[in-house]
Amino acid sequence: MTPPAMCYYSKLQGSGGKCRTCLVEVSKGSEKDPRPMPKLVASCRTTVMDGMEVKNITSEKVVDARKGVVEFLLLNHPLDCPVCDQAGECDLQNLSYEHGTEGTRYEFKRRTFEKEDIGPYISLHMTRCIMCFRCVFTADQLTQKREHGILERGDHATISTMLNKSLENEFIGNVIDVCPVGALTDKTFRFKNRVWFTKPVDAHRDCPTCNGKVRLWMRGEEVFRVTARKDQWGEVEDWICNDCRFHKKETKDWVIEGPSLIRRSSVISQGHYAGNVGTAPTPILIDKVIGKKPKLTLDIHTVSDVNRPDVHLSEIEGPAHSDDFKKNK
Ligand code: SF4
Ligand code: FES
């Protein structure tokens, strides 16, 4: 099981070391020097050594520290998931469910920012930003010149409005895909649909600017959104250009390859009952490590006898009904 990461992005040079969500305990430094590291360390910024032993969720200290990090990240983050376009694919939402606590001890007013118009395609909702720097690195490394960055410090830190200049770059749309929260969203998709109602499909086209391999988010025949494909770590596989992302919104623009593989645990896999959508690699079982099965993957038949164990939900076409579980079926 990999530690969660909110700022590290393997494809962006210099990323990592900002959010502290990836803290781990190094219980043995290396074969040469087996002393444990005195403090928890950010795994994205720690060099692996021969013989190093690292504790992730098996360490109480790590679990406790992560709760604190989530609480910090949520200090200023609005709880507007019901109206946020990122809901359902938000790293912070997932992190809070998996590692957070139910409440906060924060009593002050959350910081807020005035809305800024940064062009026709990308919406910046600074109030939701967690200052991970990913968008800054993306613009810096994918575009010809750096046009935006973080201004001010501490509570006043903000993504600069110069972003609207770099919007002219044909790869700038990728900042939407790297943003772990709903601070940068696609204006052409905004408020049009909830992501779990759409069906992700892999498709490609012959694009003169990028390699044209994308993911279409469809409902029926309609293409609601185009994004880059993401790998098992939730990172973009190949950067895509603005033309593919914002202007090719018809099925005739694309050669459809087939349904995208979506993690079983993701809310996006809900509603996909047949075919291979929703199948995902079995999570790496931690039962060998902690000696019991993780709660997240428990088999419903071991705790409930409501459904017949020989009826597999994944094989039922469409939503399940009581008829599907009748004895004589
Ligand atoms: S806008 Fe998004 S990607 Fe950019 S720093 Fe804020 S959270 Fe990170
Ligand atoms: S992912 Fe390591 S510090 Fe943010």
Give the model confidence (pLDDT) of 228-278 as tens digits. Answer: 999 988 999 999 999 999 999 999 999 999 888 887 777 887 755 444 433
Which of 15, 115, 129 to mutate for ligand 1's pocket (most ligand atoms within 8 Å of CB)? 129
Asked whether the CA dihedral 5, 6, 9, 15 is positive or negative, the reply is negative
Looking at every residue in the chain, the average pLDDT score rounds to: 83
Predicted local distance difference test score (pLDDT) of residue 47: 93
Position 282 confidence tier, pLDDT thresholds 50, 70, 90: very low
User: What's the CA-to-centroid distance between 20 and ligand 1, angstroms?
Assistant: 15
Mean pLDDT of 100-107: 84
Predicted local distance difference test score (pLDDT) of residue 182: 94
Predicted local distance difference test score (pLDDT) of residue 161: 54
User: Is the separation of the CB atoms in 126 and 215 below 8 Å?
Assistant: no
Predicted local distance difference test score (pLDDT) of residue 245: 97
Predicted local distance difference test score (pLDDT) of residue 91: 94
Three-state secondary structure readout of 215-283: EEEEECCEEEEEEECECCCCCECCCCCHHHHHHCCCHHHCEEEEECCCCCCCHHHCCCCCCCCCCCCCC
CA 173, CA 167: separation in Å to the nearest integer? 8
pLDDT at 323 over 80: no
User: What's the CA-to-centroid distance between 125 and ligand 1, angstroms?
Assistant: 9
Specify the 3-state DSSP secondary structure of 286. coil
Structure tokens at 329: 């079926």
Specify the 3-state DSSP secondary structure of 93. helix
Predicted local distance difference test score (pLDDT) of residue 306: 60
Give the closest residue (by CA) to ligand 2 atom 1.
5
What residue type is 84 in one-letter code?
C
Q: Is the CB of 240 under 6 A from ligand 1?
A: no
Backbone angles phi, psi at 238, to 5 degrees: -135, 135
CA angle 267, 269, 270 (to 5 degrees): 70
What number does the ligand 2 atom closest to the CA of 17 have? 3
CA 289, CA 152: separation in Å to the nearest integer? 44
Predicted local distance difference test score (pLDDT) of residue 288: 52
- Max CA separation in the chain (angstroms): 69
Which of 10, 11, 12, 21 to mutate for ligand 2's pocket (most ligand atoms within 8 Å of CB)? 21
- Please list every protein residue whose CB sits less than 6 Å from any atom of ligand 2: 5-8, 16-22, 42, 44
Phi-psi region of 211 (alpha: psi -120 to 50; beta: other; left: phi over 0): alpha
In 100-178, alpha helices (H): 134-142, 163-166, 174-178
User: Is the separation of the CB atoms in 313 and 325 below 8 Å?
Assistant: no
Position 304 confidence tier, pLDDT thresholds 50, 70, 90: low
Mean pLDDT of 27-48: 94
Predicted local distance difference test score (pLDDT) of residue 298: 52
In 50-185, alpha helices (H): 60-73, 91-99, 134-142, 163-166, 174-178
Predicted local distance difference test score (pLDDT) of residue 114: 79
Position 281 confidence tier, pLDDT thresholds 50, 70, 90: very low
User: Is the separation of the CB atoms in 62 and 24 below 8 Å?
Assistant: yes
- Bridge partner residues of 55 (DSSP): 25
Position 280 confidence tier, pLDDT thresholds 50, 70, 90: very low
Structure tokens at 285: 């079982």
- Bridge partner residues of 213 (DSSP): 204
User: Is the separation of the CB atoms in 25 and 55 below 8 Å?
Assistant: yes
What number does the ligand 1 atom closest to the CA of 136 have? 4
Q: Is the CB of 184 under 6 A from ligand 1?
A: yes
* Among the bound ligands, the one closest to the CA of 123: 1
CA 184, CA 99: separation in Å to the nearest integer? 24
Predicted local distance difference test score (pLDDT) of residue 274: 40
